[in-house]
Amino acid sequence: MKMGYIVPILLVGLLIAVLFLPQLRQTFLKLRSEKVTIAQTDNGRPLVGAAALDLNIITVLGKDGIPAILDPVFLSAEEAQRNMRDGERVLGVSINGESKAYPLNLLSRHEIVNDTVGGKPVAVTW
């Protein structure tokens, strides 16, 4: 095949991909959508004659798409000071005299930590 044909073939392939992108996305990502209708309200009371909003909610990640941390490992206060930046934000939990800190940069990647603090099971979410 001559080099002059490569660019037109790539352009045609790109055009096809753009035209069929929603279908490709649906096929390869196996997206699910759910239709919901939301009535417009005024302090919880439906507005008379108001149009309802019809929406499609598209689920990108399936069940358990972002893994939870089930058995967290903690650093000592001294180790945390050496490994964390000054001013790094954490979500703190204190129950029955036991305190734990969960770095937000870690929670942003996992979104939930199942743990026990002060003898009580907790789900730390972000």
Q: What is the pTM of this model?
A: 0.51
Task: Report the pLDDT value the prediction gives residue 38, as an integer from 0 to 100.
Answer: 78
Question: In terms of Cα–Cα distance, which of 49, 54, 21 is closest to 36?
Answer: 54
**What pLDDT does 26 receive?**
58
**pLDDT attached to residue 108:** 83
Q: Residue 92 has what pLDDT? A: 94
Note the pLDDT tens digit of each residue in 7-53.
Answer: 888 888 888 877 777 666 656 656 667 788 877 777 767 667 667 77
Query: Which one is predicted more confidently, 87 or 111?
Result: 87
Of the pLDDT bands very low, low, confident and very high (cuts 50, 70, 90), residue 117 is: very high
Residue 48 identity: V
In three state form, how does the secondary structure of 23-72 look?
A: HHHHHHHCCEEEEEEECCEECCEECCCCCCEEEEEEECCCCCCCCCECCC
pLDDT digits (tens, 9 = 90+) for 53-97: 788 777 766 666 778 889 999 999 899 889 888 889 999 999 999
